[in-house]
Amino acid sequence: MNASRLSSCTLSFLLLFFLFIGARHQVVGQVVKVSGVVQSAADKTPLPYAHVVLKRTLKGAVTNEDGRFIVNCQLTDSLMVTYIGFQKHTVVASEVLQKGGIVLQPVGVELNTVAVYADKEVLLDLLVRAGRHLRRSGNAIHKTYFSLESATQGQPVELIECYFNAEVRSTGFGDLHLKTGRIGMSPVDQSYFVNLSTTEILANYNLIYKSNNTFPDNPLHFGKKQIAKLYEYHPVSSGDDWVQLELISKSGDQFDALITLNKAKGQLMEVQLKADNLQKHPFGEINPGDEMSQLNFEVQYSFVDATAFGLEKVTFEYDFIYANARAQRPLATKGVVLFYDREQGFGLPHYSAGENLVTDYEKIVSQPYDPLFWEYQTLLIPSKRRLAYRQFFKENGVLFNFNELSKQNVIFKNKVVPWSNERIFSYAINDGFDFEVDGELNDYHNLSTASELYQLSAQIYLDRNVANDSVYYVSSTLINLDESFYYLKKNPNTNCFINLYFDRVEMARRELEATLHRQFWTAKQVDSLFALTQMILASDLKTYLREVDHGREESVLTGYAETVHQQLGIDNTLLIEAPELTVAIEGSEAKRNKAPHLELYHYGSAMLRIGNPEAAQQAFQQALELGDQHPWLYYNLGLAYQQLGKPGEACHCFRKSAALGEEVAPEMLKGCN
């Protein structure tokens, strides 16, 4: 019995021992979130935008303005921390978790720098050598984070955040391809202030060649003799491996510079360019009559201290006075461009139209917003101030489309809109103009064919993302109003024809989305599925255009409309104009602006028939604003107001209709004073 008990105890002990070892092994190998603050050992100040990467993967995070970071890693991982002016430091993740942070030691500084560099030409030789080294460096694609924030007298007015794939070059960076972005805005003095193309402005500045720059030149643009002629220069400080050189423009026509150089390798470590009251710059006013003045600008390039060239970050800030008809205000903008993950860029969305858009705003608002991406990214956690900014814009208006600002300026009119149940009329894709080009085109004098006189531009947007070890998709049908047009002579089926085209793109998108959710697909498989969908869709649309013949084959058109009705629940036959209504309205005083108001009248009438008086009222009201004064319009608008429970407005419209010659039944006017 005792032996039996001993065996049982021994077995239990061994079982517990192996369970313990297994549990311990699981904890060690488990991926956890390690967070902390990177500080200077000298004064305990946080170090913003320091790189914290896993030694085994060279991937990780960047500290925010508060010096704080989060890295997903194993407790046994070694973390490497780098920051310009400080010694590189390696620490085990478990130690960071225990201490709550990482402390970096400043590199040694020699005090008597002027004595060391009595022959200052040595410094110019080193600077020119570093410039040559930079010219020989290659290009590489990096994941890139961009943020910009603007304020006036401490009040936030603008916040932009984006992720790009960017090409880092010897001259700086460029070829920005948007992954995703978001915008926060708040009006001041009933006006919005925006930086439309800051990424383009920064990317267009050539750091080492002076040709075609819209900013002033800098010392790297010149040879040794020219630098000595144009600049006062002297060393500021130095260490064992580095020296910092200050260069002041003698004429004020060039950027002043503060440049940190690696003495042993002959490489640039940091380039800071600064100028006050700039006269040469690429910034411009938004509205005619506005004026900007007293522009002060500063930009800083920080490089990886390694044999291979690598631009690590660009920080910038500028301020100026902006005056418009309402007020004159000081405005200040600051931001950062961070380059990371040099081995592999983002998997970009399938979306060709984005390449044709110019400003940061156009690119961002043309794509569907992806909240999950922002929730799960850990490259740069928001600082306290950034969280305050986001909260401010959440309470004071966040902008995700241009249209809210189009009243301020036509440049804010959105060029790309997502597909929706709202219908698109021919005048909307023609910028409000009415074109009456003969569709027959039999005369040999005609230089255009029918196919050249219209274009309907829509495409499927698809983005694949990985979050928390799972895959999710963001997709949308996007209609490019700027590229779409219809200049042929319209027929009663034109608007039905246009909307069926866009609806068929949406049907293809939904079918693709359903396929993607049936099982797991790799990134390459998704690319193939998307390409197959595009090929089938192109063939389908080509067949559709041929068979319906711009809507003139009404029986074929209604067959397509029935398919759309079954799959999307939208009856496009309601957009078909009744001939007798067209003749009556064309014979009235409302002939002016015929195309827009006639289409709106028919759409509003269709909405009344299907029991949507709110949409009908909005369409009729737009027709009135375009100059339509037909009695039928007022009568139907009265019906819409009546169904909306607004008898006063209904009576006004019925009386107006009667005054214009329409017979209004007496019972319709009951209760009207």
- Token look-up 């600077």 returns 127
Residues 559 and 655 both lie in one domain:
no
- Please provide residue 640's backbone torsions phi and psi, each rounded to the nearest 5 degrees: -65, -45
Residues 92 and 139 both lie in one domain:
no
Residues 61 and 191 both lie in one domain:
no
pLDDT at 305: 56
pLDDT at 15: 44
- In angstroms and rounded to an integer, the radius of gyration of the C-alpha atoms of the chain is 33
pLDDT at 226: 93
Residues 330 and 428 both lie in one domain:
no
Residues 6+ apart with CB under 8 A from 67: 37, 38, 39, 45, 46, 47, 48, 50
pTM value is 0.80
Residues 586 and 557 both lie in one domain:
no
Distance CA 654, CA 642 (A): 10
Residues 95 and 201 both lie in one domain:
no
In terms of Cβ atoms closer than 10 Å to its own Cβ (0-12, 13-18, 19+), residue 324 is: middle
Classify residue 344: in a domain, yes or no: yes
Classify residue 17: in a domain, yes or no: no
What pairing do the DSSP bridges indicate for beta strands 51-54 and 78-82? Answer: antiparallel
Which among 616, 673, 603, 606 is positioned nearest to 643, based on CA atoms? 616
Residues 598 and 636 both lie in one domain:
yes
Residues 137 and 234 both lie in one domain:
yes
- Please provide residue 259's backbone torsions phi and psi, each rounded to the nearest 5 degrees: -120, 125
Residues 609 and 659 both lie in one domain:
yes
pLDDT at 162: 93
Structure tokens at 245: 């050189």
CATH of the domain at 664: 1.25.40.10
Classify residue 221: in a domain, yes or no: yes
Residues 317 and 437 both lie in one domain:
no
pLDDT digits (tens, 9 = 90+) for 564-600: 999 999 999 988 876 555 444 444 444 444 456 667 7
pLDDT digits (tens, 9 = 90+) for 435-450: 444 444 333 334 445 6
Classify residue 428: in a domain, yes or no: yes
What pairing do the DSSP bridges indicate for beta strands 101-104 and 31-40? Answer: parallel
Tell me the H-state helices in 136-196.
Answer: none
At 608, the amino acid letter reads L
CA dihedral over 336, 339, 340, 345, signed as positive or negative? positive
Classify residue 402: in a domain, yes or no: no
Classify residue 112: in a domain, yes or no: no
C-beta neighbour count of 266 within 10 angstroms? 17
Q: What is the DSSP string of 488-536?
A: BPP-TTHHHHHHHHHHHHHHHHHHHHHHHTTS---HHHHHHHHHHHHHH
Residues 552 and 585 both lie in one domain:
no
Classify residue 368: in a domain, yes or no: no
pLDDT at 222: 94
Provide the Cα torsion 546, 550, 552, 553; round to 10°.
30
Classify residue 633: in a domain, yes or no: yes
Indicate left, alpha or beta for 583 from its phi (over 0: left) and psi (-120 to 50: alpha): alpha
pLDDT at 194: 84
Residue stretches of the chain with pLDDT short of 50: 1-26, 111-115, 306-308, 435-448, 582-594
Contact 314, 298 (CB under 8 A): no
Please give the residue range of the domain that contains residue 216: 118-348+381-396
pLDDT digits (tens, 9 = 90+) for 362-417: 888 888 889 899 888 878 888 888 888 888 887 776 665 566 677 667 677 778 88
Contact 127, 153 (CB under 8 A): no
Domain final position from 329, 362, 396: 396
Structure tokens at 617: 């009222």
CA dihedral over 487, 491, 495, 500, signed as positive or negative? negative
> In whole angstroms, how far apart are CA 547 and each of 487, 544, 560?
19, 5, 10
Domain final position from 565, 589, 605: 565
Q: How many residues does the chain have?
A: 673
Question: Structural domain tally of the chain?
Answer: 4
pLDDT at 115: 44
Residues 587 and 442 both lie in one domain:
no
